[in-house]
Amino acid sequence: MACIAALKLLNWENPIHHEQSLPWDEYNFVTVDRKRLMIVTHRTDVTLGFEARFQHEVLFNKYLAFLHTVLPPTTEFTEKAWKW
């Protein structure tokens, strides 16, 4: 019984899931939390959004610069602590 369970575990593969988010031009708000190295993009409700968390400030700044190039010019960038 243990051998069958071990074989099943050894042959188990984790399925890969790819998620699609909204097109870049649909995001209207960005909250930047420099203390926690988080950038949250929002569509309409600023309490909900896609969170991007970073371990290093260099990557954080690169992603923020990237967002400035792909998001619409009307996007509002706000720097504050993310509380949700």
Counting beta carbons within 10 angstroms of the beta carbon of residue 81, is it exposed (0 to 12), middle (13 to 18) or buried (19 or more)?
exposed
Question: For the segment 3-58, what is each residue's pLDDT rounded down to a tens digit?
Answer: 787 878 788 887 877 767 778 888 889 999 999 999 999 988 777 778 899 999 99
Q: Give the strand pairing for 38-42 and 29-33.
A: antiparallel
Establish if 3 belongs to a structural domain.
no
Half-sphere exposure of 15 (CA within 13 A, CB side): 3
Establish if 5 belongs to a structural domain.
no
Query: What is the tally of structural domains in the chain?
Result: 1
Establish if 65 belongs to a structural domain.
yes
The pTM score is: 0.70
Establish if 38 belongs to a structural domain.
yes
Question: For the segment 57-66, what is each residue's pLDDT rounded down to a tens digit?
Answer: 999 999 999 9
| Residue range of the domain that includes 32 | 22-84
